Amino acid sequence: MFRLPRIESITYRCAIAFQLSPDSPFTVAERIFNTLKQPLTTQPDLCLNFTVKLLDQGWLDFTLCDRSLSLWLQCWPTFSYPQKNSPLKSTNHDNSWIIQYTYARCCALLRLGEQEGLIKLKNKQFQPYTWSLLTPSPIPSFNLELNEIERSLISQIITTVDRLVNDSKVKEIKLALRLSDSFLNFERYCRIFGEISRNKPQISQARLGLVAITQMLLQGLWLSQREQPLRNRL
């Protein structure tokens, strides 16, 4: 199973039918598809629901529904960061200034959010592997009205978590660089303060939630490879 490079949706493609039956994968995929179409007797609130699509060639596509995506984002305060400390810490700081700058920007935006009364921080020093927001909890929902830039950042956040959990050979600093790039683009085009915070404070809070998720991930990715902690101020 692998993620498709899409921004508009979170879709995983599964090739299990080709492994089970190389000669007639579509027949096997169809049986799996028909089985998965059966409704579940119970659906826990935190269960991630996917829409399943059967392709002519025998592929199965699993697309995360928007409501589940919203719940996943709201549940970040309860998640544990998947720590992977490398036995050999690197001292190579090529391009690391981008990560340091992005992390400091995340921290600055969160402090400004508290100053503006939109959020409240647990600790302004941003302890490692710890969710930084005390309130609001949970993060307000976007009501599924995400623009392309927000979806791009969320997509990169999911890619980062997927790689951390499932890839034993993941290169954390490369992940941090990609996440930094997505975040800086998000900050450039998605306003948090000013008119939007006055008229639509929940959108500002939701975007600050994405800032907090990025801050937590960047800090963890950095600490897995570097001895010196990130500075939370420029």
Confirm if 230 and 218 have CB atoms less than 8 A apart: yes
Residue 152 pLDDT > 90: yes
Asked whether the bond before 138 is cis by omega within 30 degrees of 0, the reply is yes
Mean model confidence pLDDT for the chain: 88
Asked whether the bond before 136 is cis by omega within 30 degrees of 0, the reply is yes
Class of domain 69-223: mainly alpha
Selection from 141-155, 192-206, 216-230 with the highest mean pLDDT: 192-206
Q: Residue 143: which residues within 8 A CB-CB, separation 6 or more?
A: 70
Confirm if 208 and 131 have CB atoms less than 8 A apart: no
Token look-up 């990560």 returns 99
Confirm if 184 and 102 have CB atoms less than 8 A apart: yes
For residue 73, what are the CA distances in angstroms to 4, 29, 69? 20, 31, 6
Quote the pTM value.
0.89
What pLDDT is stored for residue 91 in this prediction? 53
Average pLDDT over residues 195-222: 95
For residue 138, what are the CA distances in angstroms to 31, 71, 146, 205? 39, 9, 18, 10
Confirm if 131 and 76 have CB atoms less than 8 A apart: yes
Confirm if 214 and 105 have CB atoms less than 8 A apart: no
Q: What is the full DSSP assignment across 86-137?
A: -SS-----TTHHHHHHHHHHHHHHHHHHHHTTS-EES-TT--TTS--EEESS
Token look-up 């800086």 returns 184
Q: Look at 179 and 79; give whichever has higher pLDDT.
A: 179
Amino acid at 108: A
Residue 49: which H helix or E strand, with range? Answer: none
User: In this predicted model, what pLDDT tens digit does every residue of 44-102 receive, in sequence order?
Assistant: 555 678 899 999 899 999 999 888 888 899 889 988 888 766 655 555 556 789 999 99
Show me where the domains of the chain are located.
Answer: 2-64, 69-223
In terms of residues, how long is the chain?
Answer: 234
Confirm if 102 and 218 have CB atoms less than 8 A apart: yes
Query: What is the band of 132 on the pLDDT scale with cuts at 50, 70, 90?
Result: very high
